[in-house]
Amino acid sequence: MSWSEKISAGDWPAIMQSVAEAIVTAVFVVTFLLQAFTIPSESMEHTLLVGDYVLVDKFCYGGSVGWNRLLPYRNVHRGDIVVFHYPVNPAQDFVKRVVALPGDRLRLINKRVYINGALVAEPYTQYIPTARSPYLDDFRAPNLPSSQ
């Protein structure tokens, strides 16, 4: 007896209902709870490799007003790995590590990160010697007038 013969004509509505429920559940989970992303570049090598998959918890971060206070949101911390839409091309997703928070003063001097004037210990980073580029390797404070 073949597979199609085992399923009688009366079972088709139940099967279609099960398939529809599975599709609705999958769309809900991907839209609101979890989503898989592929690492597109080597910017986080030795932590995440090109082609690795990460499962992102979409329910983790949120606001602190209204209904959001009832949900298990938390604030973003330094060192968290976040996924966001690239502002120039929203179809492209970026997977990056949080380096600084709002209000922090960030500087990049000789390929070292300084936050609020203190050198940040980053054991997960690697420094590959390349040709020196002041534009890429230094993010110094702008020359501000003496009144500021």
Q: Whole-prediction pTM value?
A: 0.61
Q: What is the pLDDT of residues 109-127, one digit of tens each?
A: 877 888 998 998 877 776 6
Instruction: Kindly list the catalytic residues.
Output: 43, 96
3-state helix, strand, coil in the chain (%, to 5): 25, 20, 50
Q: What is the pLDDT of residues 36-73, one digit of tens each?
A: 888 877 777 777 888 888 888 777 766 555 555 666 67
> Which residue is it, tokens 């918890």?
57
